[in-house]
Chain A
Amino acid sequence: MLRLDQVSKTFRLGAFGSRELTAVKDVSLTVEPGEVVSLIGESGSGKTTIGRMVLGLASPNKGRVTFDGVQVSGLRGRALHGYHRQVQGVFQDPFSTFNPVFKADRVFALVRDGFFRSVPAAQWRQRVETALHGVRLEPADVLDKYPHQLSGGQLQRMLIARALLLDIRLLVADEIISMLDASTRIDVLNLLGELKSSGLGVLFVTHDLALGTYISDRTVILRAGEVVEAGPTETVFTNPSHEYTRNLLAAVPHLHRRWDEPVK
């Protein structure tokens, strides 16, 4: 369904773009329907940039991002609109994803403006409430409020609910769990699990290895914009072939073990 082929992205820096920063280098991966692919890497490893390219918000300098064989970066106007009906994202920082001057539930209104103009208001409200219940939110708690009156977790779940309003086939989830507290975290993960079994493909971007293992079928480990290891999650975690993956796994804190005890 989604395919990245040798995708690279460089940014120009400094005066007159004299320096180049390679954010993503020759990354290839695929996401199939009903599959969760974890994209794991440290900060600055290019995870978010990959997500933005998949969503059509940035275009690669080299390589191709294709969805059902259609190149994403070439989409304009109506075609891009149709693409966003099927592919949506939830971003890392909920506080910057909501326009601070508007009420938070405006994100739902925007979806209606963009995609469902013909749906009557009452029916739309019903759909919004269903979507909110889906992410374990009480509509009365979050509707008609400004972003600064809501918590990060509530905002993040509203964004997930927003993505669910559209009948999407691929979700780019950029660190969607990191702002949630432990109990809602599992709720949201289980929700993703349900959606996955109904055929949704998820590109699960995270820096948290434990979350990656919990939900994903396949794992891609990124380092400095390059894929260091990719494969079925079990293989990657039980039998890591790359030095970096081994170090990454060793750095995960464990229960019942102090940080100063030697690893293994």
Chain B
Amino acid sequence: MTDTDHLAAPGVPVLAEPVVPPAGRSRETLHFALRNKKVVGAVVVILGFLVLGLVAPLFTNHGPNEYVGPPAAPPSTEYWFGTTTFGQDVFLQFANGIRSTFVVGLLGGGLAALIGMTVGFVAGYRGGLVDELLNMLTNIVLVLPALAVLIILHAYVGVTSVPMQALFIGLFSWPWVARAVRAQTFSLRSREFVDLARLSGMRPLAVIRREIAPNMSSYLFMTFILLFGGSVLMAATLDFIGLGPTDAISLGLMMNSAVHWSALHLGLWWWFVPPGAAITAIVGALYVMNVGLDEVFNPKLREM
């Protein structure tokens, strides 16, 4: 509606607001999301990296660890991000590394979010004995030194692929999510809209999914961001101590080998700046997206 509608001369009936067709909630969310600069900007950054990671390796028939160029060459038109001490193409490693980073983040973060939210929702909504048992399990996993357990697992089981690494990371990073979701669920379940949903014949799972979860959707998304970033960092740590997947490349592994081969002292900045900047940009964009989505999900923060 434009301002001119309100400025109609006195006596002239103001047109009634056009009847909006009943749009679904997801469509409405999308409507506000596309008008939110933070969300759009962050999505562009993340999709940009994702597309780069997915597409760039297709245009070459070299593997990321192959020795293709002159050693330690600075960025040029042929090698956009230069080459490593051994003549590996940094851009190629970078693009492939983004792939691994997304895989570890999505799978590891996704698995941890799934376990943590399931445990948290069930414990918080059911309460009582179920809550006691799940809480006990959560606390046990919480006090396990995750890194030490992962080191042992990686050393004994042996991790060859990125998804397997993501699986192990996901299995040990969910407890704080479970605790946070449980606490939130506890407070939301006592609100009267939960009672009203129950009076409307809704089953417990539907109450959790359709009444409680939407109230914390931005929180759940934030959780996923932290898990995503945490998984990436955990993977980098494991890569660094030589327990990462042997036949792959990741941004963490790139920084690790850059440090390992003294790139900083030799002035090979193009070796470690791109992966570091990419990790920062991806995690930063996800955070900005979260702030924007908070405005989208919470009608009170919207500018009407």
Contact A110–B215 (Cβ < 8 Å):
no
With a 10 A CB-CB cut-off, give which of B25, B198, B201 has the most chain A CB atoms: B201
Contact A88–B199 (Cβ < 8 Å):
yes
Q: Which residues of A contact B215 (CB under 8 A)?
A: 99-101
Q: Tell me the chain B residues, 13-61 only, with Cβ under 8 Å from chain A.
A: 20, 22, 25
**Identity of the chain B residue whose Cβ is nearest the Cβ of A108 in the assembled complex:** B200
A36-60 CB contact bits vs B (8 Å, 1 = yes)?
0000000000000000100101000
A155 to B30, CA, bound (A): 27
Contact of A114 (CB < 8 Å), options: B22, B25, B202: B202
A99 to B106, CA, bound (A): 30
Q: Which residues of B contact A99 (CB under 8 A)?
A: 193, 197, 211, 214-215
**Identity of the chain A residue whose Cβ is nearest the Cβ of B197 in the assembled complex:** A110
A57-B195, A96-B192, A98-B193 as given contacts; A114 in contact with B201, CB under 8 Å: yes
Q: Is B297 an interface residue (CB 8 A)?
A: yes
With a 10 A CB-CB cut-off, give which of B191, B193, B195 has the most chain A CB atoms: B193
Q: Is B299 an interface residue (CB 8 A)?
A: yes
**Identity of the chain A residue whose Cβ is nearest the Cβ of B190 in the assembled complex:** A96
Q: Which residues of B contact A127 (CB under 8 A)?
A: none
A91 to B211, CA, bound (A): 17
A91-B196, A99-B214 as given contacts; A81 in contact with B300, CB under 8 Å: no
* Cβ of B113 to closest chain A Cβ, rounded Å: 20
Contact B20–A144 (Cβ < 8 Å):
yes
Contact B198–A101 (Cβ < 8 Å):
no
A97-B193, A99-B214, A101-B215 as given contacts; A89 in contact with B199, CB under 8 Å: yes
**Identity of the chain A residue whose Cβ is nearest the Cβ of B17 in the assembled complex:** A140
Contact A114–B200 (Cβ < 8 Å):
yes
* Cβ of B70 to closest chain A Cβ, rounded Å: 58
Q: Tell me the chain B residues, 178-220 only, with Cβ under 8 Å from chain A.
A: 191-193, 195-202, 211, 214-215, 217
Contact A110–B200 (Cβ < 8 Å):
yes
Q: Is B298 an interface residue (CB 8 A)?
A: yes
Q: How many residues of B contact A (CB 8 A)?
A: 22
Q: Is A115 an interface residue (CB 8 A)?
A: yes
Q: Tell me the chain A residues, 82-112 only, with Cβ under 8 Å from chain B.
A: 84-85, 88-89, 91-93, 96-102, 107, 110-111
Q: Is A62 an interface residue (CB 8 A)?
A: no
A85 to B215, CA, bound (A): 27
Contact B195–A84 (Cβ < 8 Å):
no
Q: Which residues of A contact B22 (CB under 8 A)?
A: 144
A103-134 CB contact bits vs B (8 Å, 1 = yes)?
00001001101110000000000000000000
Q: Is A148 an interface residue (CB 8 A)?
A: yes
A10 to B299, CA, bound (A): 38
Q: Which residues of A contact B199 (CB under 8 A)?
A: 55, 57, 84, 88-89
A81 to B206, CA, bound (A): 14
Q: Which residues of A contact B214 (CB under 8 A)?
A: 99, 101-102
Contact of A101 (CB < 8 Å), options: B201, B202, B299: B299
A236 to B203, CA, bound (A): 42
Q: Is A146 an interface residue (CB 8 A)?
A: yes
A114-B200, A115-B201, A148-B299 as given contacts; A93 in contact with B25, CB under 8 Å: no
Contact of B192 (CB < 8 Å), options: A91, A102, A115: A91
* Cβ of A150 to closest chain B Cβ, rounded Å: 12
Q: Which residues of B contact A148 (CB under 8 A)?
A: 299-300
Q: Which residues of A contact B200 (CB under 8 A)?
A: 84, 107, 110-111, 113-115
Contact B196–A101 (Cβ < 8 Å):
no
Q: Which residues of A contact B297 (CB under 8 A)?
A: 101
**Identity of the chain B residue whose Cβ is nearest the Cβ of A92 in the assembled complex:** B192
Q: Which residues of B contact A85 (CB under 8 A)?
A: 201
Q: Which residues of B contact A91 (CB under 8 A)?
A: 192, 195-196
Contact A57–B198 (Cβ < 8 Å):
yes
Contact of A81 (CB < 8 Å), options: B195, B196, B201: B201
Q: Which residues of A contact B193 (CB under 8 A)?
A: 96-99
**Identity of the chain B residue whose Cβ is nearest the Cβ of A105 in the assembled complex:** B22
**Identity of the chain A residue whose Cβ is nearest the Cβ of B22 in the assembled complex:** A144
Q: Which residues of A contact B196 (CB under 8 A)?
A: 91, 97, 107, 110, 159
**Identity of the chain B residue whose Cβ is nearest the Cβ of A89 in the assembled complex:** B199
**Inter-chain pairs besides A92-B192, A99-B215, A159-B196, 10 sampled, C-beta below 8 Å:** A55-B199, A57-B199, A84-B199, A91-B195, A93-B192, A97-B196, A98-B193, A101-B297, A107-B196, A115-B200
The 3 A-B residue pairs whose C-beta atoms are closest, nearest first, are A114-B201, A110-B200, A97-B192
Show 8 A/B contacts (Cβ-Cβ < 8 Å), sorted by A.
A81-B201, A85-B201, A93-B192, A96-B192, A102-B25, A110-B200, A111-B200, A115-B201
